Amino acid sequence: MHQVERWMRRIAVGLVIPMPLLLLYALAPAEIVMTAVAVLFAAHCLLRRDWNWLRQGWVGAAGLLWVQIMLASFIAGHGVAQAAAFVRYFVFVAALQHWVLPDPRMRQILARAYGAVAVWLVAGCWQQYLCGRNFMGYGRWADGALLGPLWAPRAGHALVMTALPGLFPLAIDLARREGARGRVMAEILLLGLVVTMVLIAQRMPLLHLLLAMGLCGLLVPRLRAVVGATVALGAGAVALSPLLAPQAYHKLVLNFVAHMQGFADSPYGMLFIRAGVMIERHPLFGLGFDGFRHACPDPAYFHGLPWLGVGEGVHGAAGGCNLHPHNFYLLMGTMGGVPAMALFAAFAACVLTRAWRGVGAARDPQRLMLAVTCVVVLWPLQSTSSLLTQPTAGWLFMALGWALACVPVASHLQSVRGRD
């Protein structure tokens, strides 16, 4: 039995390490990997008769959220099977936390894989910027975003999710240990990431990167001057973008200002209004799994939100439709009502509390950056891709499981089980 368990774990580790590359180029295999690791972990728990991981606060919140979405889907009459399978993501997080990544060596190998993918993304973005087309032959996206070494505008989010755990710990180490020379090298590294993100011209990933840098500056004193200089030089890059990258300037500055000045009439504002109307009409159980996509074309939801001061206006048009509401919390609300939103917020709070436990005392750059990554991905006021599809689900739950695996208590429990 022990030999079988060892092979099961080796298979799970072998599946997890290539995940950053799969999340770039092989989304269906990435989904299969997450499901397979969750199934292997459940089999491991059955063989060992060890279910202690179920006693954690975040597991309780996730379990209640799953039950709520299952019940809402049953009431709505669709998506019950998909809602039942949704639990695999939470089991995958537990598998990373308690089984796959408690070993520091495995976490270090994964960090190197993330760092290598981040470097690949940066190189691909600069190659496309300088040559006009990437190695696949694609030019910029219709809205001006750089694709990097990809075929769709996903380079910005992928770079944030790989650079934070893969490259930022290196910058922290350089600033802490190498004196003035190290701070200059850290400055070059961070500035390269910021300028690359400006050229990519995706607003939310750039804001994510700046948020992460701000948190690093607050928490790592030796990095504060480096972060300040990087932000100043990054602002200079934005100021020069009308000359160097006019499409990036139009999207990052002009388009962003226009959206903020007339948010209710912007595409994102209309999605927010449409999701708000759905939750207002179905506050207890929402519209079931992926309910926003199913109900969005229904004229019953073509209304404003008077309680927010948003009148009908153009908000009754079908232009507010999309496959998802572009926000994790609104997505949960449209699937399972206000209780689902509250349970997802509780799940996020439990994960963040656990991930940040003892981070300052540990002085571990990787732990710090994974905790920062959790803040970035779970921050409620942002526009996101759907949590129900890849690569968003993969990046999110990989980060959460990896961050939880770094908490010493999780590592200690795993080492004790290994001696049983």
CA distance 358 to 402: 16
Question: Does the model's pTM come out above 0.85?
Answer: yes
**Nearest residue to 113 (alpha-carbon basis) of 183, 19, 207:** 19
For residues 331 and 387, the answer to whether their CB atoms sit within 8 Å is yes
The beta strand positions in 241-340, using DSSP E, are none
> What are 110-137's pLDDT values in tens digits?
999 999 999 999 999 999 999 999 999 9
| Backbone φ, ψ for residue 154 (5° rounding) | -120, 5
CA distance 246 to 248: 5
pLDDT bucket at 413, cuts 50 / 70 / 90:
very low
Lowest-pLDDT choice from 9-18, 85-94, 271-280: 271-280
**Nearest residue to 8 (alpha-carbon basis) of 54, 48, 52:** 48
pLDDT bucket at 362, cuts 50 / 70 / 90:
low
Question: What is each CA distance from 10 to 6, 46, 118, 294, in whole angstroms?
Answer: 6, 17, 25, 40
CA distance 338 to 206: 30
Most confident of 172-181, 202-211, 287-296, 341-350: 341-350
> What are 221-235's pLDDT values in tens digits?
888 989 999 989 888
Cα within 13 Å of Cα(200), Cβ side: 31
